[in-house]
Amino acid sequence: MRILVTGGAGFIGSAFVRNILRNELKSSVEKLTILDSLTYAGNLQNLENTLSDKRVSFVHGDIRDRSLVDRLVSSHDQIVHFAAESHVDRSLHSPSTFIETNIVGTASLLDALIIHAGKRMIYVSTDEVYGSVAEGRSTEKDPLNPSSPYSSSKASGDLLCIAYASSFGIDVLVTRCCNNYGPYQFPEKIIPLFVTNLLDDCALPIYGTGVNIREWIHVDDHCRALSLLLVKGKAGQIYNIGSNFTISNLALSQKLLMMLSKDDQYIEYVADRSGHDFRYALDSTKIIDEIGFVCDIDFAAGLDRTIAWYRHNEEWWRPLKAGSTRVR
């Protein structure tokens, strides 16, 4: 396989690179190219243990650069498309940036797939496209109801991919995953923000009353699902990727406090975010039944490993802590 990974210097993209170079597909990887524009969340340090592999190369560029995208797509068989603006708070302050990257950038890849037939692309999306779910779990057949510029831009990418697959017969599939956690996650997201705050003996800023509920999956489990879909996924299909484990932001905070030997005095309630979705939860029956994917990493064990990573890698996260950081 000759694989192009867009956004491969980010949190999930770099985890995918590390995982596919060591999992059961490693011997079939002939070439792996990482394309990343290295915005604030893209970091070459995330790739420091992979760039020495002779099969791996890095290209500094933007997915909106159509000539670059065309050249790269032409020389690869598989594209895993992570590149995106991905933080809800940032989308509320700069919606146009999310539209440009998440919609226009995705369209440039899809247009290249029309020109260069026989390629497969996985478009990595999010559970947020379904909007808030009061009860039950979202299935792939449920309508989309995004509530932020971020989730709306991702939903637009979803629809473009499915429309291109239907209209032009290209091999593209869409994945919608729940919240990821693990090493190398930019410390504006809730788990690395709260872990590093507690390591620095600082408060945990919780939106509203902290009752908002999220489903969590370790990034390594997510990446293993994507590797399976590269081989077994069906063109034009949508696959939810979840763990079936949900927890409120407040309960998550209390769990982190306990694991880091702190008490509730570190909790600081702050004004709620505009349009803050109450609950996300995915029905992952399809990927379980059709692809045979099940999560390997228990949340408590994964959280313990994640805390240990941040504890022992201050040189990575401490320079990134400057600026405003908020909860997803």
Q: Which residues are catalytic?
A: 127-128, 150
CA 123 from centroid of its chain's CA atoms: 11
Question: Is residue 20 a contact partner of residue 80, using CB atoms and an 8 Å limit?
Answer: no
- What whole-number distance in Å separates Cα of residue 217 and Cα of residue 318? 24
Question: Is residue 295 a contact partner of residue 243, using CB atoms and an 8 Å limit?
Answer: yes
Question: Is residue 310 a contact partner of residue 199, using CB atoms and an 8 Å limit?
Answer: yes
Half-sphere exposure of 227 (CA within 13 A, CB side): 23
Question: Is residue 167 a contact partner of residue 209, using CB atoms and an 8 Å limit?
Answer: no
> Exposed, middle or buried, 243 (CB in 10 Å: 0-12/13-18/19+)?
buried
- What whole-number distance in Å separates Cα of residue 124 and Cα of residue 262? 36
CA angle 205, 184, 16 (to 5 degrees): 130
DSSP string, 25-73: TGGG--EEEEEE---TT--GGGGTTTTTSTTEEEEE--TT-HHHHHHHH
Nearest to 39 by CA among 96, 84, 105, 77: 84
Question: Is residue 254 a contact partner of residue 264, using CB atoms and an 8 Å limit?
Answer: yes
